[in-house]
């Protein structure tokens, strides 16, 4: 069987201060932000830095009770999730569910950049929060 995962879409890093993180990537690596977006439904603001065909996604909460806000309060800054690109998010999510793994999103939903996404519960995946990303 061919892998359902086609690329790393992004590696997400939770930070307290988005501007400081953006400035650090620019200063240290000369890396520029190619996209910024507030995802109100998730309570986050993101800044994407392109690395080849993938991104580093710097994430900061827009409210304390958002999932990323709670994550920062509990664990502090650092790696938050890994996002794999898939051709069809619904097909990939169905395969995950068929395997018996626990999911966070029961159905695909809109992500940033006009993508379709679904999260797999970290309990199912060796304590790594995984996001499936379909580009539309
Ligand atoms: Co993500």
* Number of Cβ atoms within 10 Å of the Cβ of 110: 12
Please tell me the distance from the alpha carbon of residue 136 to that of residue 48, in angstroms, as a whole number: 17
CA nearest 85: which of 12, 6, 13, 11? Answer: 6
Q: How far is the CA of 27 from the centre of ligand 1 (A)?
A: 24
The overall average pLDDT reported for the chain is: 96
Q: How far is the CA of 99 from the centre of ligand 1 (A)?
A: 22
Q: Give the residue numbers spanning the domain of 124.
A: 5-135
Q: What is the CATH number of the domain that holds 54?
A: 3.10.180.10
What per-residue confidence (pLDDT) applies to 12?
A: 98
3-22 confidence digits (pLDDT tens): 999 999 999 999 999 999 99
78-120 confidence digits (pLDDT tens): 999 999 999 999 999 999 999 999 999 999 999 999 999 999 9
Q: How far is the CA of 84 from the centre of ligand 1 (A)?
A: 9
- Total domain count, the chain: 1
Task: With beta carbons less than 8 A apart as the criterion, state whether 38 and 44 touch.
Answer: yes
């Amino acid at each position: 069987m061919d892998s359902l995962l086609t690329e790393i879409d992004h590696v997400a890093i939770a930070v307290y201060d988005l501007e400081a993180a953006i400035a650090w990537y620019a200063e240290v690596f000369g890396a520029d932000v190619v996209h910024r977006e507030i995802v109100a439904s998730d309570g986050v603001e993101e800044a994407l830095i392109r690395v080849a065909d993938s991104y580093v996604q710097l994430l900061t909460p827009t409210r304390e009770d958002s999932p990323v806000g709670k994550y920062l309060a509990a664990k502090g800054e650092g790696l938050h999730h890994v996002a794999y690109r898939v051709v069809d998010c619904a097909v990939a999510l169905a395969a995950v569910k068929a395997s018996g793994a626990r999911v966070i999103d029961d159905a695909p939903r809109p992500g940033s950049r006009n993508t379709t996404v679904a999260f797999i519960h970290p309990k199912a995946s060796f304590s790594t929060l995984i996001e499936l990303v379909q580009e539309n």
